[in-house]
Structure 1
Amino acid sequence: MDTVVTYLILSFIVSFLLGSIPWGVIVSKLAFKKDLRDEGSGNIGTTNAMRTLGKAGGAAVFALDFGKGLLSGWLAAYVFAPAVAGVPMDIAAADGELLLGISSNPTLNPVALCMALAFAGCALGHIFSPWLKFHGGKGIAVAAACLLFVYGPVGFLIEVAVFAAGVLATRYVSVGSIAAAVVCPLLGLYFYWGNWVAWVIILATALVVIWAHRANIGRLRAGTENRIGSKKKVAQ
């Protein structure tokens, strides 16, 4: 029992800690002698970094944020999930009953839980970084990177296509980001069909990512959100 619970908890905690590394702040301070939180929108993600630090700074922040998502997914897929899979299913189901307060059933796949918890951990760590008093970015780059392992290459490419379509159609980065977050749990119905606890974790994480875009949603409704290529209207 302890083995399964331990690996599930580790999958979340390790991913949360990786996701919580505030690369936007680190890059802006070390390379540009400024704090990204005091620039532009104050957000530590790629979009604000690109606008305030330039293409090189934005690319560096994106690569590092994407990298921590990749590492979270890789550790879940190749370290924690295989360890959980080595435990008999009846024991894993019993652990789930104790840990999650639900009845043991064959749909409680510990591997699916491990992957979903890693996805949640890295996204939530980025959005609620303990190093920044539980503030952070919006979780798109790190979550998308983790999905390469959680959903596999096909699911990842679908998410990228949805994001790109939203941005190209509207010239709003936030629209592409929100669209990708909306599609995420819908894809989860396919990739995690029957693994309902894992799917609920994915759904809840996607909702938090959308919530993190609440200011963008407000500006979209007010018509003050910045489009790609347009002159900046207000601090974003």
Structure 2
Amino acid sequence: MNGMAALTWTGAGLAMLIGYGLGSIPFGLLISLAAGLGDVRKIGSGNIGATNVLRTGKKWAAALTLLLDGGKGVAAVLIAGALFGPSGAMVAGLAAVFGHVLPVWLKFKGGKGVATYIGVLLGIYWPVGLLVIVTWLTMAFVLKYSSLSALTAAALAPAFMMAFGELTWAVFTLVLTIVIFITHHENIYRLWHGKEPRIGEKKH
């Protein structure tokens, strides 16, 4: 996706609708309900992301949630990019993350956007998306903190983009990274005070 072209207001609006519409699909909730695990919003952190789904004890449900939440980020970027070019992909990617974090169907109470964020990165520049995944997995394996792994990977993502010479996407990625840090403000507080649960543990 090289060369940012001007995006019309109509194109921007449609790209935003595509991104938000896909991003707001609450896969974690739908999967937990379909699997008979109950309402995932009533356990752990109360959000609909894969980390909280994992607290049901069903790893397959968490893995499927992770895959689908990432997939909607990829789909949003690729569809909008095909229709409206790189600028459209950018709008759709940002909207997809916001859709996951603030889904209208759930009274704007969703997940923290990490999987969708990674999906967006895979869609706009897959080498960086893969580097972010490797960073997350490495940190999670070593430290066992999902939130710290996500924050570390997100913090490095703009630098990865710059290393590949993708300066425009680096700025865009930085904006998404700021969003991820904002959605994790409670996790940051708990990490600082040594109260953050490790992967698989219940939230205190």
Distance 2:79 2:165 in 1: 19
In the alignment, is residue 77 of structure 1 matched against residue 81 of structure 2? yes
1-structure distance, mates of 2:19, 2:113:
13
Alignment-derived partner of residue 219 in structure 1: 190
Report 1:119-198 matches (<5 A). Answer: 119-151=93-125, 153-189=126-162, 190-193=164-167, 195=168
Alpha-carbon distance in structure 2 between the residues aligned to 1:49 and 1:215: 18
> Is the CA contact (8 Å cut-off) linking 1:174 and 1:213 kept in structure 2?
yes
Deviation (angstroms), 1:47: 0.9
The amino acid that maps onto 2:131 is: I
Corresponding residue of 2:28: 24
In the TM superposition, what is the alpha-carbon distance from 1:78 to its structure 2 partner? 2.3
Could you tell me whether the CA contact under 8 Å between 2:159 and 2:170 is conserved in 1? no
In structure 2, do the counterparts of structure 1 residues 178 and 77 end up closer, same or farther at CA, with 3 Å as the change threshold?
same
Cα shift at 1:53: 4.7
Percent identity, aligned pairs only?
33
Number of aligned residue pairs: 198
Q: Distance in 2 between matches of 1:128 and 1:149?
A: 21
Structure 1 length normalisation: TM-score?
Answer: 0.75
Residue 47 of structure 1 aligns with which residue?
51
How far apart are residue 139 of structure 1 and its match?
Answer: 0.6
- Give the deviation of 1:71 after TM superposition: 1.1
Greater Rg, structure 1 or structure 2?
Answer: 1
Post-superposition offset of 1:17: 1.2
Q: 1:192 to 1:5 in 2, by over 3 A?
A: farther
Counterpart position of 2:203? 235
1:77/1:149 contact within 8 Å kept: no
RMSD over aligned CA atoms reads: 2.2
Deviation at 1:80, TM superposition (A): 2.4
Distance across 2 between alignment mates of 1:20 and 1:177: 20
- Distance, in Å, in 1 between the alignment partners of 2:160 and 2:16 is 21
Residues 43 and 137 in structure 1, CA contact (< 8 A), matched pair in contact too: yes
Unmatched tracts of structure 2, length 5 or more: 1-5
Where structure 1 has 5 or more consecutive residues not aligned to the other structure, the ranges are 82-110
Counterpart of 2:176 in structure 1: which amino acid?
A: T
Post-superposition offset of 1:168? 2.6
Q: Deviations over 1:39-87 (max 9, x none)?
A: 1221211011012151122122122212211211220232321xxxxxx
C-alpha contact 1:65 1:142 (8 A) present in aligned 2: yes
| Offset of residue 200 of structure 1 | 4.5
Q: Is the 8 A contact 2:24 2:104 kept in 1?
A: yes
Give secondary structure in 1 for the equivalent of 2:55: helix
**Cα distance between partner residues in 1 of 2:122 and 2:73:** 9
The one-letter amino acid paired with 2:68 is L
TM-score, normalization by structure 2: 0.86
